[in-house]
Amino acid sequence: MKPLTSDQKTKFYNILAGVYLDLIKDGKIGKVEQRVFAQKVLKNIEAATTYEEVLNFIEDMVKIYPAMQIARARLHDDVNKVHETQVMSHLQSFLKSAGASSR
C-alpha cells in the first residue's frame, strides 16, 4: 500500500479533532484525559504510514475511551474512503501499464 499523504493525515487529524471536541462538549472525558487524548492523536497519526495503522490506532482508542465507539463509524468510513482511493489509483496504474505492454 502507498503511504498516507500529508493531506490524508490532515483529514484524519481533523476528524479526530471533531471527535475530541464532541467528547469534551458531551462531558465524556475529563481535563486530564483531554491532554492524554490529544497527545495520543498527535503522536499516532504523525507516526502512521498506512491506513491500517490508522485503523489500529482507532481500535486502540475505542478500548481506552468507550465513548469513541460512537465516533468509530465516522472514522472507519473516512479511512476506508482513503484506502479505496489508494486501491483504485493502484489498479488504474496497473491497467495502464498492462495496456501499454500489450501493444
How far apart CA 31 and CA 7 sit, in angstroms, is 29
Per-domain boundaries in the chain? 6-101
Q: Give the DSSP letter string of 38-85.
A: HHHHHHHHHH--SHHHHHHHHHHHHHH-TTHHHHHHHHHHHHHHHHHH
pLDDT of residue 39: 93
pLDDT of residue 42: 92
The pTM of the whole model exceeds 0.85: no
Tens of pLDDT, residue by residue, the chain (103 residues): 678 889 888 988 888 888 889 889 988 888 998 999 899 999 999 999 988 898 889 889 888 877 777 667 777 777 677 778 878 888 888 888 877 666 6
